[in-house]
Structure 1
Amino acid sequence: MPELPEVETIRRSLEALVVHKTIGDVTVNLPRLIRTPDDVEQFKIMLRQQTIRGVRRRGKFLLLDIGPYTLVSHLRMEGRYGLYQTGEPIAKHTHLIFHFTDGTELRYQDVRQFGTFDLLPENNLSAVPGLRKMGPEPLSGEFTPTVLQQKLKNRTGKIKSLLLDQNLVAGIGNIYADEALFRAGVHPEREAGLLTKAQIERVYRAVVDVLSESVKLGGSSVKSYVNGFGSTGSYQYHLNVYGRKDEPCPNCGTPIKKNRVGGRGTHFCPKCQPAPRSRRSR
C-alpha cells in the first residue's frame, strides 16, 4: 500500500497535471469503488462541469478539491492515476475515467480493486471513517516529540503496531515503520509505554527524517507504485532493513531478521535493535 511519501508524490504530480481542468463527464466501470454517494449516476452529475481547484493529502488519502466538493481517494494496495489523451488505448483494470473538456483524461487503474472514492461537501470530510480520528501529520508542526510521548504514554502495545495506527500518527505504513525503528535503534516489539524519553525522541526524529528523505526521492517503488507521470520512486535503493531479510545490516553486518508483529511482516537488526529482555526492559 502506498504510504505517506508515495501518496505525497502522487499528490504533487496530480497537482501539476490536473489542477484548473474542468470535468466534462465521468466513466465508472466498477461502481462498487464509489462509496459516497451510493448512487453512481449522482456521483457523475455532481462532478460534471466542475473544475479541479487543488489536490491535497491527509495521511494516505488523496483529497481532490473539485468545485464545491472534495473527492476523497484511497489507493489501497495498487491504485494508480495517469493522464492520457482522449482516444489513447485504455489499459486493463481502468475503473474510473475523468474526461476533461480540454481533450485529456485522468484514468484510475486498480488491479486489486480495493481503492475507494467518497465525494463529499468540502467541509464534511469527517464523514469518511479513516479521516475522522486521524492523528497528526508527521511532517507538520503539530507532530513533536512531546506529542508522540503523550500518545505513547501508558500504551501497552508494541511500538511497531502503534506506529501503524493512523489515529496515533498519519501516513506511516510497514516500510517506514521498519526503517524508522531501525534508525532509532528500537526493537519493533518493545512496549510503547515503557520507552524512555530518549528513545521516543529518537523514534520521532527517525520518523521525520525517513519520511522526508523518501519524499525527496519520490517514494519507494517496491511493488507497483508509480506517480501520476508514470515514474517510479527511488527510495527503495536506500532501505536499510525492509525487504532485506538475511542480508547484512549496513551498520554492523548482522543478518537482518524478519518476524511478524501485529500480523505484519517486520524487518529489524537483532544487534542494532536489541530485543527487550523482560517486560520492563528498556
Structure 2
Amino acid sequence: MPELPEVETVRRGLEPVFTRSPIERVELRRADLRFPFPPGFAARLAGRRVLALGRRAKYLIGEIDGGDALIMHLGMSGSFRIDAADPEGVFHRARDTKAAHDHVVLHFSGGARVTYNDPRRFGFMLLVPRVELAAHPLFVGLGVEPLGPELTPETLAAELAGRKAPLKAALLDQRTIAGLGNIYVCEALHRAHLSPLRAAGGLVDAKGRPKRGLVDLVRAIREVLGEAIEAGGSSLRDHRQTDGSLGYFQHSFRVYDREDAPCPTPGCRGQVSRIAQSGRSTFFCRDCQK
C-alpha cells in the first residue's frame, strides 16, 4: 500500500490540475471501487471547482466549492494519470496502465483530464460535507501529522508514556502518528538507532518527558519522510508518480528490504536482520539499534 510520501507525491502532482479549472464532468466506468460511489457522485461534482487539494494521513482530500470534500484513497494499487488535449501542454503524461483498469475520469474545463486506475479496486472515493470531515469515521482518532508542527518529542512522549507495546507497533498505530507505514518506520528507527523491539514507553522518563532517543526519533521521522517525498516516494510494486515515472527513494533504503546487508551506520560491523512483527517484515540492525 502506498505510504505517506507516495500519497504526498501524488497530491503535489495532481494539485495544479485539480485547482486550475472547474470539473466539467465525471465519467464513472463502474458503479463501485472498494465501496459503491455515493449517490449522485458524478452529478454533484460536475461544474464544481476544487479550491484546494490536501492530505490527511494517507487520504487525499479535495476542498470543493459549495461545502463538500472529495475523499480519495489509493488502496493497494490505485494511481492517477494526467492527460491533456494539447500534447505540448504542461499536463501531458504518457499512458502507462491498462485501460481496462481505468475506472474514473475527471474531465476539467480546458481539456485536461485525470484518470483513476486501480487494478485491484481497493481504493475509493467519497463525498462528504466539509463540516463533517473531522467527525467522519475515517478521521476520528487519527494521530498527529508527522510533517506538521504538532509532532514534537513532547506530544509523542504523551502518546507513548506507559505503553509496553514494541516501539515499531506503537508507531504503526495510526492513533499515535497518522500516515506512518512499515517502510518509513523501519528507516526512521534505524536512523535514530532505536530497536523496533524495545518497549515504546521506555523512551519516556518518570516525569513524562521525552528521553534523548525520542528526540532523535522525531527528527529521524521528519528527515526520512522529507527525503522520500523529494525522491518521489518509493516504487516497490504499484506506485507511480502522476507523470508515470517511478519514485526512487527505494535506492536510499538503509535497512528496509536489505536483509543480510552490512549495516550502513558508520563504524557499525553489524548486518541487517529481518524479523516478523504483527505479520509484517521488520528490518533493523541488532548491533546499533538498542
- TM-score, normalized by length of structure 1? 0.90
**Coordinate RMSD, CA, aligned:** 2.0
2:41 corresponds to: 43
Distance 1:12 1:38 in 2: 26
2:139 corresponds to: 131
Is 2:161 the counterpart of 1:182?
Answer: no
Q: Pairwise mapping of residues 66-215 of structure 1 onto structure 2 (< 5 A)?
A: 66-68=64-66, 69-85=68-84, 91-196=99-204, 197-215=211-229
- Kindly state the Cα deviation for residue 85 of structure 1 after the two structures are TM-superposed: 3.7
Note the alpha carbon deviations across 1:127-162, whole angstroms, 9 max, x for none.
532212111111111110000111000112111111
1:126 counterpart SS class = coil
- Kindly state the Cα deviation for residue 34 of structure 1 after the two structures are TM-superposed: 7.0
1:123 counterpart SS class = helix
1:17 corresponds to: 17
- Kindly state the Cα deviation for residue 212 of structure 1 after the two structures are TM-superposed: 1.4
Aligned-residue identity in percent: 38
1:242 corresponds to: 256
Distance 1:221 1:37 in 2: 28
1:108 counterpart SS class = strand
2:82 counterpart SS class = strand
Distance 1:133 1:116 in 2: 20
List alignment gaps of at least 5 residues for structure 1: 275-282
Distance 1:73 1:32, change over 3 A: same
- Kindly state the Cα deviation for residue 36 of structure 1 after the two structures are TM-superposed: 7.5
Distance 1:224 1:35 in 2: 21
Note the alpha carbon deviations across 1:203-256, whole angstroms, 9 max, x for none.
111111111121222211222211222222221111100011122211234331
Please identify, of 64-73 and 22-31, the stretch whose mean Cα deviation from structure 2 is larger.
22-31
1:267 corresponds to: 283
- TM-score, normalized by length of structure 2? 0.87
List alignment gaps of at least 5 residues for structure 2: 87-93, 205-210
2:91 corresponds to: none
2:131 counterpart SS class = coil
State the AA in 1 paired with 2:99. A
Distance 1:168 1:182 in 2: 19
Distance 1:36 1:55, change over 3 A: farther
2:31 corresponds to: 31
1:118–1:128 CA contact under 8 A, matched in 2:
no
2:242 counterpart SS class = coil
Distance 1:29 1:86, change over 3 A: farther
Distance 1:7 1:44 in 2: 23
Distance 1:112 1:128, change over 3 A: farther
Please identify, of 133-142 and 18-27, the stretch whose mean Cα deviation from structure 2 is larger.
18-27
